[in-house]
Amino acid sequence: MAKSDKKRGASFLNGVPNLLILKLLSRREMYGYELVRSIQQASGEALVFAEGCIYPLLHVLEEEGCISSREQAINGRTRLYYLLTGKGEQRLAEMEREWDRVRQGVVQALNWEPVS
């Protein structure tokens, strides 16, 4: 494995929330709290992110052009809905490929038997 692949694998683990956000937004547009709850529900409560963790990621993803947002008034309150862009679809595909590589590496490591 090249040195850059090692770094990418380590930094990728920090990008799991981004992967989940992009994946959920590939299915439909959602607002922030809805994303938080959806991640929690989809992971069987194994992954619980505070809104304070998700909103900064949404802002960065929007600045990078991976998602866009639109406002919608609901019962007198304005919600900010997030949508996946074409660039976001490309980023998601890259992240899913990397996730598969990392996941396979973890499975391989868990099943590894050292030779004595």
| pLDDT score, position 31 | 96
Q: Which amino acid is at 27?
A: R
Q: What is the spatial order of strands in the sheet that 30-31 belongs to?
A: 30-31, 77-84, 67-74
Q: Determine the structural domain holding residue 23 and report its residue range.
A: 3-109
| pLDDT score, position 51 | 87
Mean pLDDT for the chain overall: 90
| pLDDT score, position 12 | 54
Task: Report the C-alpha gap between 53 and 17 in whole angstroms.
Answer: 9
Task: Decide if 105 is inside a domain.
Answer: yes
Task: Decide if 58 is inside a domain.
Answer: yes
Query: Which run of H or E residues covers position 6?
Result: helix 3-14
Query: Which run of H or E residues covers position 73?
Result: strand 67-74
pTM for the full model? 0.83
Question: Residue 51 belongs to a domain with what CATH number?
Answer: 1.10.10.10
Tell me: pLDDT of 102 over 60: yes
Task: Report the C-alpha gap between 83 and 87 in whole angstroms.
Answer: 11
Task: Decide if 114 is inside a domain.
Answer: no
Higher pLDDT, 88 or 14: 88
Tokens found for residue 41? 């529900």
pLDDT in tens, 78-99: 999 999 999 999 999 999 999 9
Q: Which amino acid is at 31?
A: Y
Q: How many domains does the chain have?
A: 1
| pLDDT score, position 99 | 93
Task: Decide if 116 is inside a domain.
Answer: no
Provide, rounded to the nearest whole percent, the portion of the chain with pLDDT above 70.
89
pLDDT in tens, 57-80: 999 999 999 999 999 998 999 999
Task: Decide if 68 is inside a domain.
Answer: yes
Residue 31 in contact with residue 81, Cβ under 8 Å? yes
